[in-house]
């Protein structure tokens, strides 16, 4: 077997076509020239007489005409080459046979005409037959070329439409993955049923949820002619949310899933992705809660940079809680992915009753992260629907996070760690091979990853 494709070599195809035509034509001409009774090649005639080949007596000169027309069929029907080249070949074949008929074998045609008393000389209607077949095959070749070109255009159009459909499908998948989490989007893309009303829901035992709002953005938003009726204010808010979304692409925050934004309030959670589920043991819960806090710290750093560049004083008011939730998709048109449960309600209350610039957490979060972060007890807070709850302000880390620990493991660590972070030995081995990447360099020099978290 060979991988060589003759279709990709036009010169080789033309050479094969010429050979396929010339070989039968030369055989026919040699056979005709060796006919006894004509004035062909003397050594061929002597050879035929020596061997007493009776089939070379050429008693019927129509054989010469028919053999030439058969060469036309070989060239016109079975060889796909340039139509102009075909016509040239057929013209050469016609002229070759006409020369044989009029020069070397004229006496055979005259003898045959005197025998059958033909009204029209045989060589004349032979020439006419060659002309008619030449014109007919030329039109047939033209039609064949037109059909092949049209077929090529149809195939090209079909290939372009197929590529366009595939690109459209990829774009739809990207849009769907922007509207829904990746694992939820894959669920609907792989769904065989066409029923759009089918409910998707998933229950989780432990999920860390946070709400982060910018309470003083409402004071910043003013509809004036100077800011294009508030459009410039919305542009600032969009830049803030877009900067927050950039954090989701960092490998360390792959476990964080953005739920939605409500005005200037940003809602996200960890423990929803199938590859980053919170396990039942304490270290697993601490690991993903730590990830949430690190994400909030990164958001605060992003907002601080925006304030420095835009001369604003935006502050984040954050509320964090952990517990069971139910996730699902609501709506057959413009579907919305959301999470529900008492855990979400309490996290929202932690944010709404919080203080700008601080992170308010529940007592359960405090009990899990008290060995990782420093806290300030706020005391009892009146929470709507819950009564009095003891809450805490999360302040800072007890010990700085290892800046090399960028990529968390797919599953939480099984053994306890003093700093509440996973074992980073495998990450350090990975960094040896990829430390020159621009992205990792940007992470190393990010101040919150090395110092402030």
- Residues carrying an active site annotation: 349, 384
CA distance 348 to 326: 16
Question: What's the CA gap between 118 and 88, in Å, rounded?
Answer: 32
Give the span between the Cα atoms of 371 and 293, in whole angstroms.
14
Residue at token pair 């996200």: 268
Backbone phi and psi for residue 218, each to the nearest 5 degrees, phi listed first: -65, -30
| Contact (Cβ atoms closer than 8 angstroms) between residue 375 and residue 394 | yes
Q: Could you give the CA distance from residue 203 to residue 181 in angstroms, rounded to a whole number?
A: 15
> What gap in Å lies between CA 253 and CA 169, rounded to an integer?
28
Bridge pairing between strands 387-397 and 359-362: antiparallel
Q: Which residues contact 56 (CB under 8 A, 6 or more apart)?
A: 31, 34, 35, 36, 48
Q: Which of 185, 188, 239, 201 is nearest to 217 (CA)?
A: 239
Q: Would you tell me how many other CB atoms lie within 10 Å of the CB of residue 405?
A: 19
């Amino acid at each position: 077997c060979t991988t060589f494709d003759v279709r990709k070599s036009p010169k080789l195809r033309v050479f094969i076509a010429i050979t396929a035509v010339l070989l039968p034509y030369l055989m026919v001409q040699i056979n005709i020239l060796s006919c006894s009774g004509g004035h062909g090649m003397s050594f061929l005639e002597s050879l035929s007489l020596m061997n007493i080949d009776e089939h070379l007596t050429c008693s019927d000169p129509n054989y010469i005409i028919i053999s030439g027309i058969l060469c036309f069929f070989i060239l016109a029907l079975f060889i796909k080459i340039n139509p102009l080249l075909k016509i040239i070949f057929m013209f050469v074949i016609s002229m070759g046979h006409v020369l044989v008929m009029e020069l070397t074998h004229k006496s055979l045609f005259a003898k045959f005409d005197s025998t059958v008393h033909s009204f029209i000389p045989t060589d004349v209607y032979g020439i006419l037959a060659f002309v008619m077949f030449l014109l007919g095959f030329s039109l047939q070749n033209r039609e064949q070329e037109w059909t092949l070109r049209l077929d090529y255009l149809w195939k090209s159009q079909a290939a372009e439409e197929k590529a366009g459909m595939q690109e459209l499908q990829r774009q739809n998948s990207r849009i769907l993955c922007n509207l829904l989490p990746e694992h939820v989007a894959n669920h609907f893309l792989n769904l065989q049923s066409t029923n759009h009303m089918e409910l998707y829901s998933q229950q989780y035992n432990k999920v860390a949820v946070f709400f982060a709002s910018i309470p003083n953005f409402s004071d910043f938003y003013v509809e004036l002619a100077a800011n294009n009726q508030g459009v410039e204010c919305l542009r600032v808010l969009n830049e803030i949310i877009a900067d927050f979304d950039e954090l989701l692409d960092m490998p360390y925050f792959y476990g964080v899933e953005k739920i939605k934004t409500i005005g200037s309030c940003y809602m996200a959670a960890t423990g929803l992705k199938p590859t980053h589920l919170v396990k039942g043991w304490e270290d697993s819960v601490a690991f993903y809660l730590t990830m949430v806090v690190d994400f909030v710290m990164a958001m605060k750093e992003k907002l601080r940079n925006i304030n420095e560049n835009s001369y604003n004083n935006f502050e984040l008011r954050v509320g964090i809680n952990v517990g069971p939730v139910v996730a699902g998709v609501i709506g057959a048109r413009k579907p919305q992915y959301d999470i529900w449960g008492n855990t979400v309600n309490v996290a929202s209350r932690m944010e709404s009753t919080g203080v700008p610039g601080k992170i308010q957490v529940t007592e359960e979060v405090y009990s899990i992260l008290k060995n990782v972060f420093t806290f300030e007890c706020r005391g009892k807070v009146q929470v709507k629907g819950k009564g009095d709850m003891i809450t805490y302000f999360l302040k800072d880390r007890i010990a700085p996070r290892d800046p090399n620990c960028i990529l968390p493991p797919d599953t939480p660590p099984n053994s306890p760690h003093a700093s509440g972070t996973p074992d980073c030995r495998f990450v350090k081995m990975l960094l040896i091979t990829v430390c020159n990447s621009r992205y990792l360099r940007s992470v190393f020099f990010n101040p919150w990853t090395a110092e402030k978290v």
